[in-house]
Amino acid sequence: MLFSDVMHQDAAVRQIQRALRVGRVPHAIVLSGPEGVGKEMLAERLAAVLLCAEPRETPPPEEGAGSPNAWLNACGRCTDCELFSAGSHPDFHRIYRTLNKLHPDKAIRKRKAIDLGVDVIRHFLIDPIGLRPARGRAKAYVVVEADRLNDSAQNALLKTLEEPPGHSYLILLSSSGDALLPTTRSRCRQIQLRPLPADFVARRLVEKCGVQPAAARFLAELTNGSLGLAIQRSEEDLLKRVPAVFRAVEHAAKDPFAGGRDLIELCDEIAKEFKGDSEALAADKTALGRRAQCLVLSVVSTVFRDALRLMVGRPPAACENEPAVAALARQSSISRIGSSIRQLAAAERQINQNGNKGLIFDSVGIAINHAFRPGV
Ligand SMILES: [Zn+2]
């Protein structure tokens, strides 16, 4: 478990390494960046080195032995590292939404975990964090999907973030730094991770998942440099749905509400397919619905981005075999596409806030129509 496993995030890794070298790792950190670019990987490596009995120095990638900037990594051999790798280190804690299913209070267990709520944060983080580390060295808490912490959970957490017990480290993972309240952000060191290069994502999909190269390029583009998301999309067999999304976009260019309804039908079909995938998710129909809606919206976004590329004389990145996109681009303008892309981003936020599907896809249909309506 080496920091060099975290690819294409040099700035973030170096920031953490500098803090490790001078022995001043902040006790509250926000790692922010798009989904699936290595936040959790980086958080785990930081936690591992903080808990390791004998961290060792290794030269950074591309610098030889004897480099003055040696990186500190967990040794991989001590008891702490063994426990960590086995997923059973008593001082490493992952905090996530559905921990409510393990809460002692039955009423809380029964709740749908749309947010990361205050009850979970109190029981699994705030209350136990002050206790001494079981193995004496440190305690590390990684809050995944910290952008789902609701306001009361964040407010409850403020005091802990402000004065974390000396042995404890809190690492919050957030898909966007802005998703957290300013009061939370100001108490944490912000470390930003970047989208991964599309070429790297496409190559990984081909090598690790056996995806065909053209499909890999499409998925890399679709997911905006998020390898985790691209892998998920490839497993969801999204590609067979793509032509239908294009047809719905063409339909919405002529009739926004009819096109919007086509998109909703696609969302519903995809959500049904997801159902078999994951037992945990199947219990939460709204989560499946949201996932399908985000997926369809992301395909719509690639049409917009490729239309923009074509307009400035660049080749399309995702829809290379799609003449419809070129036709749509010819009947649009950069400013119309720009304002429609902003509307799509707003629609995505509404999906994540569990907004009304009908209203959201009406607005998506209108955004498509605004951008691509013929004869404007
Ligand atoms: Zn170790």
Q: Mean pLDDT, consecutive 10-residue segments, the chain of 376 residues?
A: 92 95 94 93 97 92 73 96 96 95 94 89 96 94 94 95 93 87 94 94 92 88 87 81 90 96 94 67 74 90 89 80 81 90 92 91 96 84
Report pTM.
Answer: 0.78
Q: Of the CATH numbers 3.40.50.300, 3.30.300.20, 3.30.70.940, 3.40.50.720, which one belongs to the domain with range 3-192? A: 3.40.50.300
**pLDDT (0 to 100) of residue 282:** 53
What residues contact 237, with CB distance under 8 A and at least 6 apart?
273
CA of 9 to the centre of ligand 1 (A): 23
Using the mean position of ligand 1's atoms as its centre, give its distance from the Cα of residue 39 in Å: 21
pLDDT of residue 158: 95
> 47 C-alpha to center of ligand 1: Å?
11
Residue 36 Cα, ligand 1 centroid: separation in angstroms? 26
Residue 318's pLDDT is what? 73
Residues 155, 158, 161, CA angle at the centre, nearest 5°?
Answer: 150
Q: Tens digits of per-residue pLDDT, 243-258?
A: 899 899 999 999 999 9
Distance 289 CA to ligand 1 centre (A): 42
Length of the chain: 376
What pLDDT, on a 0 to 100 scale, did the predictor assign at position 344? 93
- For 36, phi then psi, to 5°, come to 75, 35
187 within 8 A of 154, measured Cβ to Cβ:
no
How far apart CA 354 and CA 351 sit, in angstroms, is 5
Say how many Å lie between the CA of residue 78 and the centre of ligand 1: 4
Nearest 10 degrees: Cα torsion 322, 324, 328, 330: 80
**Gap from CA of 226 to ligand 1 centroid (Å):** 30
Q: Where are the domain boundaries for CATH 3.40.50.300 in the chain?
A: 3-192
Residues facing residue 94 across a β-bridge: 142
What is the 80 CA–ligand 1 centroid distance (Å)? Answer: 6
Q: How far is the CA of 196 from the centre of ligand 1 (A)?
A: 29
8 A C-beta contact, residue 95 and residue 144 = yes
What residue spans of the chain are helical by DSSP H? 10-21, 39-51, 79-85, 106-110, 118-121, 127-129, 151-162, 182-185, 198-209, 213-222, 227-235, 242-254, 256-275, 279-282, 285-311, 323-330, 334-352, 357-372
pLDDT of residue 354: 86
Measured in angstroms, how far is the CA atom of residue 89 from the centroid of ligand 1? 12
Provide the β-strand partners of residue 172.
30, 143
C-alpha 251 to ligand 1 mean position (Å): 58
